[in-house]
Each structure stands twice: as C-alpha cells, then as structure tokens.
Structure 1
Amino acid sequence: MAAGATIHTFTVQLADLDRGVYADPVLRVARHPSETDTYMLTRVLAYCLEYENGIDFTAGISATDEPAILVKDPTGSVLAWIEIGAPDAKRLHTGSKLAERTAVYTFRDPAKLVAGWAGKPMHRGADIPVHSFDPGFVERAAAAIERRNELTVSVTEGHVYLELNGASFDSPIHTVSAA
C-alpha cells in the first residue's frame, strides 16, 4: 500500500448475467493520493466486470511494472493483465506477452487512446479489448463514493447497471480493439 493511501471499502453484490458470474466480494481499495475517484471507480468496475478466481488488485499507480489488476492461476501464471485509464502501448505489449489475455478499461475517449497507439508495437493488439462507458457515466457515479460503500453491479446484454450508496447509474459497455 502506498504511503498516504486512503482505504475505501466496497461491499459488492455482483450479478453478471452475460458471463453467468454471481459474487459478493468485499473490496478494500487503497486510493493513492494522486488517484482520482474516477480512476478508482474504473478500477473497481474493471475488477467486477473481470471477476473470476485469482483476480486481485496490484499496487496500481504505485507500480511501474504491473497493471492495476492481475488474474493468476494457482501456479502463479498470469491469466489476465488488466489496465485502467490510458496505458501506453509498451505496457500493453508487455502485458499481452505475459498473460493469456489483456484488457483496458477507460473513462477516457477510446478513439483517442487507440489513435495514440497506432504504429507502435503491441503484441496481439487486435485481441486487446478497450472497454469504455458513456461519457460522464463514471464521473457521475464517482461523485457518490464514500469511505464505506455499498455497490450493486448488474450486467446484462452488454449494459452495466450500478447502485452506489443508494444512487443509480447505467451505461452500455463499449468495446473497441486496441489495434
């Protein structure tokens, strides 16, 4: 945990009908002093949308050689490398070589991200999905964050529905290829 990090707790009820995943994780999220609520909520959403056995937050912003989220099997092999925000092409290249699959979750304009990666080497770039939400969705939801949070995440037909501390939000999940 980074020095000066603020701990936020998310008691989650997850129902991802698209993947058949149902879980009730309690997440203790260390928010680095330089991390915005929007970035932190995108990390939490990515965790929920990628939820499976072996998923875990890494040191995040504090780490230069790890993504925000990793999924490992019991032997320690990296199954998924999940980046948040606007990672550079080099990180995606590295992640795609190390993991069976790589994904990006962003609250930024995905077209601008993909354009910034054009012409740069990226292992299996066409296989890396870049997931985003409607403009303003994450920012509006992030305004409801407190230190202790009750979060319900439901996913159906490519649409995410959130209830965060009594406030409701929804957005389609948009996906484009990194290359």
Structure 2
Amino acid sequence: MALRATIYKADLHIADNDRAYYASHSVTVARHPSETDERMMVRLLAFALYVDDSESLVFTKGLSETDEPDLWRLDLTGAITQWIETGLPDERRILKACGRANEVVVIAYGRNAQLWWDGVKSKLSRAQNLQVFCVDVEGTQALAALAARKMVLNINTTDATAWVSSEQGEASVMVSRLA
C-alpha cells in the first residue's frame, strides 16, 4: 500500500516590501511522503514570493505528477503563464517548461545548488523566459525547523531577504538571483 501525503495548513501573513504586496493567505499543502520539511517550506516561501491578488497561483501535485511544477499560475483559458520549480531540476525539464509557460522560475536550494547551476547554466542560456534564484542553505534549514501541521507564518521580504517568524521560531532566508 502506498503512503499518503501529509496535509499541512498554513496561514501566511505576507509583507513584501520589494513588490509592495501586503496580504494574508490560508493555504493547504500536501507533503509527499518522500518530501522533506525543507522542500515543503521552500515551496511555501516560493508561494509567498510570487502570490498576488489574482489568486491564480496554486500548488500542484508536485512530486506526485511529473508534468507539473511545484506551483503554477494559469490564465482563464488554462494556459500556463507562470511555472515555478523548487530544488535542482534537470535542464531538460526546465527547457520543456520554458516551451510550455510564459515565465519559468527556478528556486534552487541545498548544498549543491551552486554546483548544479554551474553544470546547467550554459545549457539554459537560450531560455529567454527563465529566471533562476538560489536561497541560502542556513536559511532553508532554519525555515525547515518552522514546519508544523498547522502554521502561522509572518513573512516580511525586503532587499531579497525573507524574514519568516512563527511560534516555533524565526528564519532569515537570502534569495540571490543567478539568471
């Protein structure tokens, strides 16, 4: 019998000073059995960094579905306007996403993020609709420590740094643009 996803609920209170976006969102995230707290929390951070008032940014099936990113934004016709991946995806997957979506965002994290980027950047140089960011290892590990089945996260973003606080503690995550 296959293991089932674990459901997490989060109330996000977002103050994004870089985009002048201030709002609260209640989200439900299904954590795949093979997913770490760190990856799930990076997905929540990606949501906070890209959500807007249109409410069209949604979590997908993620690891359970190979043809979907972690988050995407669809227009009213069902066309993919924004494709957001977290982790260190294969360059073929990214190029395929660039062909399917208007905008593709990759948020790389982990100890091997720079090594991954050095290996794929020349292959991805032709992708005009791609943005790649890297978040620092210490920040994502501190973010993982905030994971709980029911969370209230206060996320304040200024100058490419997200300060996240909850009842469990706080984390500071630096976001660096690679491409």
TM-score between the two structures when normalised by the length of structure 1? 0.90
Match of 1:37 in 2: 37
User: Residues 145 and 164 of structure 1 are in contact (CA less than 8 Å); yes or no, is this contact kept in structure 2?
Assistant: no
Q: Distance in 1 between matches of 2:169 and 2:82?
A: 31
The answer to whether the aligner puts 1:65 opposite 2:67 as a matched pair is: yes
| Deviates most, 4-13 or 162-171 | 162-171
Task: Tell me the residue number matched to 2:116.
Answer: 113
SS of the equivalent of 1:65 reads coil
Partner of 2:57: 55
Q: Which runs of 5+ in 1 are unaligned?
A: none
Q: Distance in 2 between matches of 1:165 and 1:142?
A: 13
Moved runs in structure 1, 4+ residues, more than 6 A?
A: none
Q: Identity over the aligned pairs, expressed in percent? A: 31
| Alpha-carbon distance between aligned partners in 1 of 2:23 and 2:128, rounded to the nearest angstrom | 30
Task: Name the CA distance, whole Å, in 2 between partners of 1:118 and 1:105.
Answer: 14
Larger deviation: 160-169 or 31-40? 160-169
| Count of residues in correspondence between the two structures | 175
The answer to which of 38-47 and 13-22 deviates more is 13-22
- Distance, in Å, in 1 between the alignment partners of 2:155 and 2:171 is 10
Tell me which moved more, 109-118 or 84-93.
Answer: 109-118
**Equivalence for 2:11:** 11
Which AA in structure 2 matches 1:75?
T
Q: What is the Cα deviation at residue 80 of structure 1?
A: 0.6
SS of alignment partner, residue 41 of structure 1: helix
The answer to whether structure 1 residue 160 and structure 2 residue 162 are counterparts is yes
Matched letter for residue 21 of structure 2: V
Secondary structure of the residue that 1:173 maps to in structure 2?
strand
CA shift for structure 1 position 58: 0.6
Preserved contact between residue 108 and residue 132 of structure 2 (Cα < 8 Å): yes
TM superposition score normalised by structure 2 = 0.90
Structure 2 counterpart of 1:102: 104
Q: Contact 1:97 / 1:123 at 8 angstroms: preserved in 2?
A: no
Q: Secondary structure at the match of 1:117?
A: helix
Q: Matches of 1:39 and 1:174 in 2, distance apart?
A: 17
How far is 1:76 from its partner?
1.6
Distance 2:45 2:89 in 1: 17
Contact 1:145 1:165 in 2 (8 A): no
Per-residue Cα deviation, 1:55-84 (whole angstroms, up to 9, x for no partner): 001100011111111011222221111111
Shift in Å, 1:119: 4.9
Q: Structure 1: how far apart are the matches of 2:27 and 2:134? A: 22
Counterpart residue number, 2:139: 137
